[in-house]
């Protein structure tokens, strides 16, 4: 049985209280207004292979070395 996404959403909405249904409606409207940003991947393919292998290895090592953990005590100031 192949149920469409729209049908699945409608089924979920049927069992939600009206205030939550309103939130879903607001969210759906905001998504409909949102503009897709960025560059399509197809346009980026021309850059494939541009970074030298040695540089990629250095980047990989830096990421592995510096991104192994998360310091939850760090406070960001804006």
- Residue 25 sits in which domain range? 1-32
Q: Is 31 helix (H, G, I), strand (E, B) or coil?
A: helix
Spatial separation of the C-alpha atoms in residues 34 and 51, rounded to whole Å: 33
Do 41 and 48 touch, CB atoms closer than 8 A? no
Copy the structure tokens of residue 26.
Answer: 């607001």
pTM of the full structure: 0.46
Instruction: Tell me the pLDDT band of 72, cut-offs 50, 70 and 90.
Output: low
Percent of the chain whose pLDDT exceeds 90: 63
Mean pLDDT of 47-62: 93
Whether 26 shows a pLDDT value over 70: the answer reads yes
Whether 32 shows a pLDDT value over 70: the answer reads yes
Q: How many domains does the chain have?
A: 1
The answer to whether residue 55 is domain-embedded is no
* The pLDDT of residue 55: 95
* The pLDDT of residue 74: 65
The answer to whether residue 47 is domain-embedded is no
The answer to whether residue 25 is domain-embedded is yes
């Amino acid at each position: 049985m192949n149920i469409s996404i729209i049908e699945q959403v409608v089924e979920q909405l049927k069992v939600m209280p009206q205030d939550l249904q309103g939130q879903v409606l607001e969210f759906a409207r905001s998504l409909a207004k949102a503009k897709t940003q960025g560059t399509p991947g197809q346009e980026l393919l021309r850059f494939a292979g541009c970074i030298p292998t040695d540089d990629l290895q250095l980047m990989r090592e830096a990421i592995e070395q510096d991104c192994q953990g998360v310091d939850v005590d760090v406070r960001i100031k804006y």
